[in-house]
């Protein structure tokens, strides 16, 4: 008996040693928001009477499409926040202004690509203009962009005479929008007509796999894109782990493998859901491009490094020979450019522009960054974290609509989520010191 007790005691100890060794505490701290996202999703997916609704293909596609602007703007906002907790309040107005210019141009018959380019350039110019005041004249970012928020809302009203302008350019809607047409068509079925005969309700295996409702319309191209993306992702991860091993960087390899497998499964699952609905939404290509490019910029390039360094310690960075003012300028010019892109996506989604569009967009972007673990004092924060933050907000929004939470009450929930998220962040950092 006593031996048994001893044995279980030592097993307990070895368990705590295991936790210690694999830095389980660090793990939870690192993935707090991911865990929160999973829990929130489970809550909505098991809501009584609404079981599984949020996981329906149409709702998953809708979640991405509706929040396209959030991902794009939050990416730009993250760069500004990195420089020291600076935010850009003007993005909502800039989105609306660029969209207004674009819609007016297309109403006058302009080419869709020229229009898109002009919209991006206007966004960039506005960002650079605001960045000039912030970086060179040292107007506090909050004030400079607050001024921009008023001014560009005003310009939009002047330009639109307070009226809505519709987009009739079908090409623009198809490439940037998310209506019925804005999905990557199922070219695989066109290329291999045999597929149409394979994907029928008679094929017991595929019906079992995909489900009776979806099997005839299943988008094979989309699933192929997903599988390809998963393969590329696994290859990159394996390469990273191998090169880390070669350099002797001590990283928990099991942990990395687990996260790799989880992300791969998630990508395949989401693409499967898309395939069951209409296929791969066009807007996701733009979001993916932006997220990919900026994940690269923030982790691999010198300017990305400078963003973190300035936010971490501006004086030390300046004394290291970095022109810190230019770093601020870059961050604000960049968010202008991305606001231009968000303007394109917003106009295409709404098939036009109304002078009130874009209100509150800046707050969604800011909230996503902070929920995603960016420090309110700058210097820390990742694109990946920001994605989790944005998705969490999206799931909560969508979930509340599905389970029928009162629209007025939804904002209260959003506010509470933001407060709790940042509170977790602050507390976990305090324990460290």
Note the residues at the interface with other proteins (CB under 8 A). Answer: 243, 247, 249-250, 300-303, 305, 308-309, 311-313, 315-323, 375, 379-380
Tokens of 85: 């907790």
DSSP secondary structure, 27-91, as one string: HHHHTHHHHHHHHHHHHHHT-TT-TTGGGSHHHHHHHHHHTHHHHHHHHHHHHHHHTTS---TTH
CB of 305 to other proteins, least distance (A): 6
CB of 300 to other proteins, least distance (A): 6
Closer residue to other proteins in complex, CB, 12/136: 136
Closer residue to other proteins in complex, CB, 201/240: 240
Whole-Å CA distances, 191 to 188, 199, 202: 5, 15, 22
Closer residue to other proteins in complex, CB, 10/243: 243
CB of 231 to other proteins, least distance (A): 23
Burial class (CB in 10 A: 0-12, 13-18, 19+), 51: exposed
Q: At 353, is the secondary structure helix, strand, or coil?
A: strand
Closer residue to other proteins in complex, CB, 222/331: 331
CB of 243 to other proteins, least distance (A): 6
Tokens of 208: 């079992």
Whole-Å CA distances, 106 to 103, 167, 207, 209, 403: 5, 7, 45, 45, 39
CB of 113 to other proteins, least distance (A): 28
Q: How far apart are CA 409 and CA 287, in angstroms?
A: 29
Of residues 246, 242, 258, 237, the one with CA closest to residue 30: 258
Closer residue to other proteins in complex, CB, 148/385: 385
Closer residue to other proteins in complex, CB, 13/243: 243
Q: How far apart are CA 128 and CA 335, in angstroms?
A: 9
Tokens of 251: 């990283």
CB of 87 to other proteins, least distance (A): 19
CB of 82 to other proteins, least distance (A): 11
Closer residue to other proteins in complex, CB, 161/250: 250
Closer residue to other proteins in complex, CB, 79/309: 309
Question: What is the sign, positive or negative, of the torsion defined by CA atoms of 301, 145, 119, 98?
Answer: positive
CB of 306 to other proteins, least distance (A): 8
Backbone dihedral angles phi then psi of residue 225, each to the nearest 5 degrees? -60, -45
Cα distance between the two ends of the chain: 44
Which residues touch 103 (CB under 8 Å, ≥6 apart)? 165, 166, 167, 347, 352, 353
Closer residue to other proteins in complex, CB, 108/254: 254
CB of 307 to other proteins, least distance (A): 11
The strand pairing partners of 32, in sequence order, are none
């Amino acid at each position: 008996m006593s031996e048994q007790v001893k044995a279980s005691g030592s097993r307990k100890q070895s368990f705590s040693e295991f936790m210690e060794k694999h830095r389980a505490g660090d793990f939870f701290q690192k993935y707090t928001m991911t865990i929160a996202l999973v829990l929130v999703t489970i809550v909505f997916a098991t809501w009584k009477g609404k079981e599984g609704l949020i996981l329906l293909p149409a709702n998953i596609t809708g979640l991405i499409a509706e929040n396209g602007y959030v991902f794009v703007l939050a990416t730009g906002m993250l760069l500004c926040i990195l420089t020291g907790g600076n935010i850009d309040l003007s993005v909502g107005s800039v989105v609306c202004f660029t969209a207004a210019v674009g819609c007016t141009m297309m109403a006058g018959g302009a080419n869709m690509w020229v229009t898109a380019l002009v919209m991006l350039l206007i966004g960039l110019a506005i960002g650079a203009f605001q960045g000039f005041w912030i970086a060179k004249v040292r107007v506090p970012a909050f004030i400079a962009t607050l001024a921009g928020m008023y001014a560009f809302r005003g310009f939009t009203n002047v330009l639109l005479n307070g009226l809505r302008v519709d987009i009739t350019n079908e090409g623009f809607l198809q490439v940037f929008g998310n209506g019925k047409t804005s999905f990557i068509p199922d070219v695989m079925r066109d290329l291999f007509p045999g597929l149409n005969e394979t994907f029928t309700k008679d094929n017991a295996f595929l019906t079992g796999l995909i489900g009776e409702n979806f099997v005839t319309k299943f988008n094979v191209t989309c699933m192929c894109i997903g599988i390809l993306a998963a393969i590329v992702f696994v290859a990159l991860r394996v390469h990273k782990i191998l090169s880390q091993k070669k350099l002797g960087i001590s990283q928990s390899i099991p942990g990395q493998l687990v996260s790799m497998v989880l992300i791969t499964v998630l990508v395949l699952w989401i693409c499967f859901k898309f395939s069951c609905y209409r296929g791969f939404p066009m807007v996701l290509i733009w979001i993916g491009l932006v997220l990919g490019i900026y994940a690269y910029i923030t982790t691999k390039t010198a300017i990305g490094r400078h963003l973190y360094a300035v936010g971490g310690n501006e004086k030390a960075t300046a004394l290291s020979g970095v022109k810190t003012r230019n770093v601020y300028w870059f961050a604000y010019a960049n968010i202008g450019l991305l606001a231009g892109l968000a303007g394109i996506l917003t106009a295409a989604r709404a098939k036009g522009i109304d002078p009130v569009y874009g209100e509150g967009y800046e707050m969604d972007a800011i909230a996503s960054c902070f929920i995603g673990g960016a420090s309110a004092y700058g210097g820390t924060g990742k694109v990946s974290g920001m994605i989790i933050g944005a998705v969490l907000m999206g799931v909560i929004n969508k979930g509340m609509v599905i389970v029928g939470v009162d629209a007025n009450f939804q904002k209260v929930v959003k506010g509470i989520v933001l407060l709790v998220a940042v509170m977790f962040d602050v507390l976990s950092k305090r324990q460290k010191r």
